[in-house]
Amino acid sequence: MKLDRPARRATLVVHVAAAAGWLGLTLGLLALAVAAITTDSAATTEAAVRSMKIFTDWLVLPLAFLTLLSGLVLSLGTHWGLARHRWVYVKFWLTLATTIASVFALRPGVSDAVDTVASGASLVDPTDLIAGPIVSLSAYLFMMVISVLKPWGLTKRGRKQRESARGRRSVSGKAVDSEGARQPA
C-alpha cells in the first residue's frame, strides 16, 4: 500500500526527528563516557555512568524502534522500497545491527559500569564504556549522510523490478524513463 502525500510527509517528519534524536542521544552518551573516563573524581564518574544508564534505559530503545519503524513504513509505502535502493537497504541492516547491539552490548555494559562504581570500585576497562557510543555515532552519521545523498543506485532486485516494469509497459505500448515512471509514448 502506498502512502498518500500528507501521510508520507508526516511519517518523514517522525522519521527524521527520531533519527536525529537518536544521533543526539549518542553524542550525549559519548560526552558522558569521556567525562567518566577522564575525571579524577569518583563522584563525577558515578554521576556520569548513572546518567548514561538513564539514557540507555529510557531513551535509546524507543528512539531506535521509532527510527526503524518509521523507516520501514517510508520504505514500504513509497517508491523507495526496502530492497530496491542500496542506500535504503544498507540503512535497514545497519539500523537493525545497531539496535541489536544497543540491547545486547550497550545497555548491559552501562549497567555493569554502574554496579562497579556503586560498589566503590573503579572501572575495569574504561574503553568498554566509550566504544559503544563511538561505533554507534559513526554509524548514525554515516546513515545521515547516505540518507541525504542517496548514493549507489538500484540493488539487483531493484534493477530486475525496473526491467520487468519496462517489459510490461512496452507490451502495453507505453515507454518509461530510467526511474520507471511512465512517459508519453
Eight-state DSSP code of residue 60? I
Stretch that binds ligand HEM, among 27-35, 53-61, 72-80, 159-167 (CB under 6 A): 72-80
C-beta of residue 49 within 8 angstroms of C-beta of residue 36? yes
Distance between CA atoms of residues 49 and 122, nearest Å: 12
Q: Does 43 bind ligand HEM (CB under 6 A)?
A: no
Using CB under 6 A, which residues numbered 92 to 111 contact ligand HEM?
92, 95
C-beta of residue 33 within 8 angstroms of C-beta of residue 55? no
CB of 153 to ligand HEM, least distance (A): 15
CB of 9 to ligand HEM, least distance (A): 8
Strands (E) located in the chain: 175-176, 182-183
Q: Does 22 bind ligand HEM (CB under 6 A)?
A: yes
Cell of 27: 553524542
CB of 26 to ligand HEM, least distance (A): 9
Nearer residue to ligand HEM within complex by CB, 16 or 37: 16
Distance between CA atoms of residues 84 and 152, nearest Å: 11
Q: Does 84 bind ligand HEM (CB under 6 A)?
A: no
Closest CA to 60 of 120, 92, 18, 111: 18
Count of CB atoms within 10 A of residue 58's CB?
11
Q: Which of 30, 133, 137, 140 binds ligand HEM (CB under 6 A)?
A: 140
Residue numbers at the binding site for ligand HEM (CB under 6 A): 8, 12, 15-16, 19, 22, 67-68, 71-72, 74-75, 78, 80, 88, 91-92, 95, 140, 143-144, 147-148
